[in-house]
């Protein structure tokens, strides 16, 4: 019998907790997402702190409890890179031999020309940018010309933004499918992303019909192993897209972190066993890349408030595992808005599990996936399970 009947896995997208030993290779020495946010002002995170977040590493204004109610540690990314796909794939047991490509100067001209020929339209943009800022800058030109906005970021992404009244959503998705097939070999980016928006100049806003087109993950990974063992998987947020839909038989998209937590609560009412896997993207998308320290701080506090009723709803054989996929330090002292090469926090809690266990520094994010695999009687290619450290009262 499984130690835990149901595992709830929440990824706080980009909430890193200090630079990795190889941070110098990424120009990230000294970056610390949680550390710098905690230093900016006192944070109200009572639920995360009582579970053990402040026991992982020193965080200003947050006192670690002598007897945390959860288990705690931090994980290193083994694969090269510091993006969403790399982090989530590693959690599922995939180690990458090389990082997905990023384009700090925009995409090569010949690549853009190939794409334009394939879609029958010119494009504008072709540079790294914040999604909201680039539609402010180029949205009016896009509406006037009908040319889609192509841009990237510090992540390995090819993003296409288009007004829904100018390029219908089905056409935007078709363009993304063309780009996904085209971006292979040395240009195999982690994700192609459709970024639809609406509104008028000065009042453009992105809609909820974003869609990610990911690279097909190698086999076997955690989702494959769970499917073989007939373990149900419920994805919340961009989980379905990150794994290209493989193994995630039920899923919902989300508008924001609050919506994600509401849908997580609803999922717990529908699925009493297996894996419920959620990604909360606001930390990264709205605050990390925009270097909004205060917005990031408030978003952490909002999550902590929403965590309280979730903790009360857990059954004795439930396990909650909270982590991140990389960092995105918004400290204004750093010139870049890119992701940061950081450890991620690992905080687990079960009403019927062990408490106060220091999980230490895990060599790979795959340790989390291996723990889940072992719980359900399987094994994934990489990672060392810490199931025995957290199961049993």
pLDDT for res 290: 87
Number of H helices, E strands in the chain: 14, 14
Q: Which of 30-34, 288-292, 374-378 has the lowest mean pLDDT?
A: 288-292
Asked if 135 and 112 count as a contact pair (C-beta separation under 8 A), the reply is no
pLDDT for res 162: 98
Asked if 89 and 73 count as a contact pair (C-beta separation under 8 A), the reply is no
164 CB-side CA count, 13 A: 13
Q: What is the pLDDT of residues 352-377, one digit of tens each?
A: 999 999 999 999 999 999 999 999 99
- The total of other beta-carbon atoms located within 10 Å of residue 70's CB is 27
Burial state string for 264-277 with b = 16 or more CB within 10 A and e = fewer than 16: beebbeebeebbbb
Q: What is the mean pLDDT of residues 290-298?
A: 96
Q: What class is the 6-98+218-390 domain?
A: alpha beta
The order of strands in the sheet holding 233-236 is: 250-252, 233-236, 274-280, 6-12, 318-323, 344-349, 71-75, 358-362
pLDDT for res 393: 66
Tokens at 68, concatenated: 């945390």
* 6-98+218-390 and 109-214 agree in CATH topology: no
Cis peptide before 220 (omega within 30 of 0): yes
Q: What is the mean pLDDT of residues 184-203?
A: 94
With a CB cutoff of 8 Å and minimum separation 6, the contacts of 298 are: none
Asked if 214 and 85 count as a contact pair (C-beta separation under 8 A), the reply is yes
Question: CA nearest 215: which of 279, 285, 278, 156?
Answer: 156
pLDDT for res 155: 82
pLDDT for res 94: 98
pLDDT for res 306: 98
Burial state string for 310-345 with b = 16 or more CB within 10 A and e = fewer than 16: bbeebeebbbbbbbbbbbbbbbeebebbbbbbbbbb
pLDDT band with cut points at 50, 70 and 90 for residue 262: very high
Q: 338 versus 39: which is more confidently predicted?
A: 39
For domain 109-214, give the CATH superfamily: Phosphopentomutase (3.30.70.1250)
Question: CA nearest 282: which of 264, 266, 268, 261?
Answer: 261
Counting residues of the chain whose pLDDT is more than 70, the rounded percentage is: 100
Q: How far apart are CA 329 and CA 367, in angstroms?
A: 24
Q: What is the mean pLDDT of residues 219-241?
A: 96
150 burial (CB, 10 Å; 0-12 / 13-18 / 19+) is buried
pLDDT band with cut points at 50, 70 and 90 for residue 335: confident
Q: What is the pLDDT of residues 81-108, one digit of tens each?
A: 999 999 999 999 999 999 999 998 999 9
Question: CA nearest 94: which of 246, 277, 220, 187?
Answer: 220
DSSP state of 360: E
| 3-state DSSP assignment of residue 163 | strand
Asked if 94 and 369 count as a contact pair (C-beta separation under 8 A), the reply is no
Q: How far apart are CA 130 and CA 92, in angstroms?
A: 28
Mean pLDDT rounded to a whole number for the chain: 96
Q: How far apart are CA 77 and CA 187, in angstroms?
A: 22
Q: How far apart are CA 328 and CA 130, in angstroms?
A: 13
Q: What is the pLDDT of residues 194-224, one digit of tens each?
A: 999 999 999 999 998 989 898 999 999 999 9
CA dihedral 119, 124, 128, 132 (to 10 degrees): -100
DSSP state of 76: -
pLDDT band with cut points at 50, 70 and 90 for residue 336: confident
Tokens at 198, concatenated: 């609406």
Q: What is the pLDDT of residues 247-257, one digit of tens each?
A: 998 999 999 99
pLDDT for res 361: 98
Break the chain into its structural domains and give their ranges. 6-98+218-390, 109-214
Above 80 in pLDDT, residue 128?
Answer: yes
Q: How far apart are CA 380 and CA 221, in angstroms?
A: 6
């Amino acid at each position: 019998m499984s130690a835990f009947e149901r595992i709830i896995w929440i990824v706080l997208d980009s909430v890193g907790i200090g630079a990795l030993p190889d941070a110098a290779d990424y120009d990230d020495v000294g970056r610390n997402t949680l550390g710098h946010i905690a230093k900016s002002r006192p944070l109200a995170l009572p639920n995360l702190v009582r579970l053990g977040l402040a026991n992982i590493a020193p965080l200003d204004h947050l006192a670690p409890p002598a007897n945390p109610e959860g288990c705690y540690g931090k994980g290193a990314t083994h694969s090269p890179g510091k993006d969403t796909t790399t982090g989530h794939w590693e959690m599922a047991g995939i180690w990458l031999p090389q990082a997905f490509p990023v384009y700090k100067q925009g995409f090569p001209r010949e690549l853009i020309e190939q794409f334009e020929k394939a879609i029958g339209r010119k494009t504008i943009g072709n540079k790294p940018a914040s999604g909201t800022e680039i539609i402010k800058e180029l949205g009016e030109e896009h509406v006037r010309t009908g040319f889609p906005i192509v841009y990237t970021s510090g992540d390995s992404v090819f993003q296409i933004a288009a007004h829904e009244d100018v390029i219908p959503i089905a056409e935007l998705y078709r363009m993304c499918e063309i780009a996904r097939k085209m971006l292979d070999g040395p240009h195999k980016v982690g994700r192609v992303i459709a970024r639809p928006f609406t509104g008028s100049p000065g009042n453009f806003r992105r809609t909820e019909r974003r869609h990610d087109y990911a690279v097909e993950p190698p086999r076997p990974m955690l989702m494959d192993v769970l499917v073989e063992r007939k373990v149900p998987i419920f994805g919340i947020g961009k989980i379905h897209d990150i794994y290209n839909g493989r193994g995630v038989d039920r899923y919902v998209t989300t508008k924001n972190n609050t919506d994600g937590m509401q849908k997580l609560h609803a999922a717990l009412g529908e699925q009493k066993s297996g894996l419920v896997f959620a990604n909360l993207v606001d930390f990264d998308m709205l605050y990390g890349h925009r270097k909004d320290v205060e917005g990031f701080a408030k978003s952490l506090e909002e999550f902590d408030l929403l965590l309280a009723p979730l903790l009360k709803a857990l059954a004795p054989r439930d396990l909650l595992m909270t982590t991140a996929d990389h960092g995105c330090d918004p400290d204004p002292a750093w010139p870049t808005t890119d992701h940061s090469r950081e450890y991620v926090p690992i905080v687990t809690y079960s009403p019927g599990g062990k408490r106060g266990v220091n999980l230490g520094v895990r060599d790979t994010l795959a340790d989390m996936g291996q723990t889940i695999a072992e719980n359900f009687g399987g094994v994934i290619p990489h990672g060392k399970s810490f199931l025995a450290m957290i199961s049993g009262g």
